[in-house]
């Protein structure tokens, strides 16, 4: 199993790096009073990899014990689309998802299998997000002059996006649930990492050059993460 993605949270009270599992996923708490380069953070994650893998499945099971209601409609705010979801119970356990130009999604089969239905919907979401996010990232890149090498779209568990030292950007398909300005905020965040890999003053100076409300948008993003539909988690 690969190590799941994680979010970063900076804390004035924390004295050392900490890992926490919550309903939102895996969270890395970073003390603000000390500087931790990205290499040290990655080394810490790798050191804790066995603990993460051991506890991740238990965490996922506990999260899914709560009732996950499947959607009747899916609102993709970033691209101003609403999809209707219909469920048709048929004989047999195999599930099938089809969609049409009328923005309808039809799930057929054992629709009582909620986890499997959720997985099919997440796969559908990823397929929708792939071309949209790639095109938007290229558009923002051209506008800002912040260039990248490659882009991939994933069903990330907790992170909106990431950028490697080789300027490969990975984006979460859940970005489509955000408002367009917040989605663009995330794209800018990752593009700024093509120039500055850490979250120091130089990074925020560059970020705010293109997004003057970067810090307030970052707060809005944390709220938005908690408001994602349960079937996406």
For the chain of 233 residues, list the mean pLDDT of each consecutive stretch of 10. 70 83 74 82 83 72 59 95 94 88 94 89 95 97 95 84 91 96 96 92 94 92 88 85
For residues 88 and 31, state if they share a domain: no
- How high is the pLDDT of residue 7? 79
**CA distance to 12, 15, 30, 66, 179, per residue, from 33 (Å):** 7, 8, 9, 37, 33
Whether 16 maps to a domain, the answer reads yes
For residues 85 and 58, state if they share a domain: no
Tell me the pTM. Answer: 0.71
Whether 144 maps to a domain, the answer reads yes
Q: Containing domain of residue 186, as a range?
A: 73-232
Whether 1 maps to a domain, the answer reads no
Which residues are CB-neighbours of 141 under 8 A, at least 6 positions away?
Answer: 147, 148, 191
For residues 54 and 98, state if they share a domain: no
Quote the tokens at residue 110. 């054992």
Q: Which residue carries 């939102």 as its tokens?
A: 24
- How high is the pLDDT of residue 69? 82
For residues 154 and 228, state if they share a domain: yes
**What's the burial of 189, exposed, middle or buried (CB within 10 Å: 0-12/13-18/19+)?**
buried
Quote the tokens at residue 217. 């948008």
- How high is the pLDDT of residue 63? 53
For residues 88 and 49, state if they share a domain: no
For residues 128 and 44, state if they share a domain: no
Provide the domain count of the chain: 2
For residues 78 and 148, state if they share a domain: yes
- How high is the pLDDT of residue 78? 96
5 within 8 A of 159, measured Cβ to Cβ: yes
């Amino acid at each position: 199993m690969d190590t799941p993605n994680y979010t970063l949270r900076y804390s004035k009270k924390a004295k050392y790096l900490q890992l926490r599992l919550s309903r939102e996923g895996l969270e890395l708490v970073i003390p603000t009073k000390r500087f931790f380069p990205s290499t040290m953070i990655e080394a810490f994650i790798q050191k804790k990899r066995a603990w993460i893998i051991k506890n991740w499945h238990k965490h996922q099971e506990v999260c899914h014990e709560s009732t996950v209601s499947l959607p009747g409609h899916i609102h993709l705010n970033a691209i101003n689309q609403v999809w209707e979801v219909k469920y048709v119970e048929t004989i047999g356990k195999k599930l099938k998802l089809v969609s049409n130009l009328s923005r309808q999604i039809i799930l057929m089969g054992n629709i009582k299998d909620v986890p499997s239905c959720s997985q099919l919907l997440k796969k559908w979401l990823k397929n929708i997000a792939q071309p949209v996010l790639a095109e938007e990232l290229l558009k923002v890149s051209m506008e800002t002059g912040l260039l990248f090498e490659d882009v991939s779209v994933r069903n990330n568990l907790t992170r909106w996006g990431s950028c490697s030292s080789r300027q490969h950007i990975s984006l979460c398909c859940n970005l489509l649930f955000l408002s367009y300005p917040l989605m663009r905020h995330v794209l800018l965040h990752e593009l700024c990492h093509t120039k500055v890999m850490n979250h120091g003053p130089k990074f925020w100076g560059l970020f705010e050059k293109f997004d003057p409300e970067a810090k307030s948008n970052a707060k809005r993003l944390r709220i938005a993460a908690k408001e994602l539909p349960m079937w996406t988690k």
